[in-house]
Structure 1
Amino acid sequence: MQNYRLLGLAGAALLGLAGCSKNESDSASGTAAKLEVRLTDAPGNFSAVVLDVRQVEVHLKEASDPAGWQTLAFTPQAVNVLDYVNGKSALLVNTDFAPGDLKEIRLVLGPNSYVVGTDNQQYDLKTPSGQTSGVKLKLDNVTLQANATYQLLLDFDVAKSIVERGNWRAGNDKKERYLLKPVIRLVAQSLKGGLRGTVNPAAARPQVLAIRSSIVGPDTVSTFADASGAFQLNALPAGTYQVQFFPSVAAPTGQPAYRNVVRSNITVTNDQATDLGATPLN
């Protein structure tokens, strides 16, 4: 499995996810590859995050060759990414595709993305000017093979991707409150390793970080526990992890304080999710 992290990139477009056109001759002859694209989310402190999904392009040749881009057929739609957290994912593509190398994906959003805050108010998601070509995610050593399924998991980090303007104040234009600076972890995989569990009390709503040490430095993936206290992290490389819990709210007056918790030496193996059980936070 390969992990790719794209940090702090913004564009007039973020996230276009598309179905690939079938190669009819490959499909008929039984030599086609199967391509899946799934969307999941590391949530933030919003009631809804709706992306105006318009388009995706894949690059099949070297980056210097402009003829390598292929626009994929897709019906534009609005996607609330907060519907796909804690192990849930939206299956956006499940199609035959010609075997071969994938070099890059260019993801595109339209102008109608928005968030709904915890105040139940809707705010437009603005993108910084000067970037109109979309967000490019590079792929290394991704080869679609005949009669095999390859999955691209797009992990959109809401908490890092939506930035509040520092000079915005209540009463200002609601369209100017938030900027979209997408942070996407792209996992190209045929593996299903993961971590899941619950926290107690659920009201602590902690951020959950899974940190794997490697020869190239720590590899960190995060999510938040949901309202029931459940959390799940998918598409993790096999290895030994430290799992950290950071409550996002304070305990009510008169109740024991919520505390940060660290669990070490957690083993993740290929093709299954490791269950951590319940983790107390007070």
Structure 2
Amino acid sequence: MRYLKNVTFKSLMIATFISLGLTSCSDDDGSTTSGEGKANLTVRMTDAPGDYDAVFVDVQDIEIQVEADSELEAEADVDGDGWVSVGEVKTGVYDLLELTGGVSQLLADTEVPAGYVSQMRLILGSENSVIVDGEEKPLNTPSAQQSGLKLQLNQTLEAGENYAFLLDFDVDKSIVATGNGSYNLKPVIRLSAEADAGVVVGAVVLPVDIETSIQSLVVLTGESVTISAYTDADGNFSLNGVPAGVYSIEVIPEADSNLDVYAIGTVEVKPNETTDLGELTL
């Protein structure tokens, strides 16, 4: 996989985005009262682009903090602090830079008792590292290892509902170089409870006289939202978790390609729908 180098505008355009999608379904008895029954919870991880060869994170658990005296806490909170594991977490070491261009990694797909959840936290292990110019260096993550990276949620999980969380790292902001040549991982993830979000997809097509592979950065910008993704090896891209609204889009080729930026002034995104932009020829 190829990564952009020397893209000075990247830090201004890339914003992490974590979307909460909500799709309704009914229990057999028709009950949707919070605190009764089960809610389905899926958690996926993806990554905004970053200027490194690879970034490996060691995922050990995902926990949610439930309201005191709720059914969920009574069932699973052995420490009495409200934090419980979502269960069935796919632990392992993942390369964040393989999770761009709309690619995501499923971390959990499980059922939890319905109820109010105030926070979610991602707990990392010790096998975190970054590869810079071909050299692997350890990533120190003391806070995420000990207590987990906490994300505000403040969401009532209703019985019979499906909740899909997308955890989107911002690699450029998450990795901090220290003065002695080492690196710290201070994960930057933004949590947004946007329901009924849409998806924007398309394919970037190179001019016929270009024979080499060129990767582009696709940036969607709205009044208060910026979402970006790299194209994959075939030029395809997917911008996930886009709140309904009107946006502008820019396709930014690699800096040394000498290709112009492709701009679309108005793109309407509708709730729970996929907006297909088709082929965008640079």
Please, what TM-score do these two structures have when normalized by structure 1?
0.72
Q: Who is 2:28 aligned against?
A: none
Unaligned runs of 5+ in 1: 8-29, 169-175, 252-256
Identity %: 37
Conserved? CA contact 1:187–1:235, under 8 Å: no
The 1:72–1:97 alpha-carbon spacing in structure 2 relative to 1, beyond 3 Å, is closer
Q: Report the CA distance between 1:43 and its aligned residue.
A: 2.7
Alignment of 1:181 with 2:181, yes or no, is no
CA distances 1:231-262 after superposition (whole Å, capped 9, x unpaired): 111111111011123333312xxxxx222332
Q: Who is 1:161 aligned against?
A: 174
The 1:110–1:270 alpha-carbon spacing in structure 2 relative to 1, beyond 3 Å, is same
Question: 1:1-282 residue pairs with structure 2 within 5 A?
Answer: 31-61=37-67, 67-73=81-87, 74=89, 76-117=91-132, 119-127=133-141, 132-140=146-154, 142-165=155-178, 168=181, 176=182, 178-188=183-193, 191-201=196-206, 203-213=213-223, 218-251=224-257, 257-281=258-282
Conserved? CA contact 1:154–1:187, under 8 Å: no
CA distances 1:42-84 after superposition (whole Å, capped 9, x unpaired): 232334321111223211127xxx7322244446421222333
Counterpart code for 2:167: L
Conserved? CA contact 2:202–2:238, under 8 Å: yes
Counterpart code for 2:98: D
Conserved? CA contact 1:247–1:259, under 8 Å: yes
| RMSD, aligned CA | 3.1
The separation in 1 between residues aligned to 2:99 and 2:231, in whole angstroms, is 13
Local SS of the residue matching 1:186:
coil
Conserved? CA contact 2:63–2:121, under 8 Å: yes
Structure with greater contact order relative to length (CA < 8 Å, sep ≥ 6): 2
The separation in 2 between residues aligned to 1:130 and 1:154, in whole angstroms, is 15
Conserved? CA contact 1:6–1:137, under 8 Å: no
Counterpart code for 1:70: V
Question: Which 4+ stretches in 1 moved above 6 angstroms?
Answer: 128-131
The 1:167–1:86 alpha-carbon spacing in structure 2 relative to 1, beyond 3 Å, is same
Q: Who is 1:19 aligned against?
A: none
The separation in 1 between residues aligned to 2:173 and 2:216, in whole angstroms, is 16
Local SS of the residue matching 1:270:
coil
Please, what TM-score do these two structures have when normalized by structure 2?
0.72
Q: Report the CA distance between 1:98 and its aligned residue.
A: 0.6
Counterpart code for 2:227: V
Local SS of the residue matching 1:184:
coil
Aligned residues: 235
The separation in 1 between residues aligned to 2:81 and 2:153, in whole angstroms, is 17
Q: Report the CA distance between 1:129 and its aligned residue.
A: 8.0
The separation in 2 between residues aligned to 1:75 and 1:167, in whole angstroms, is 34
Unaligned runs of 5+ in 2: 1-14, 18-35, 69-79, 207-211
CA distances 1:137-181 after superposition (whole Å, capped 9, x unpaired): 0013x221112211111111223322444774xxxxxxx1x3323
Conserved? CA contact 1:151–1:190, under 8 Å: no
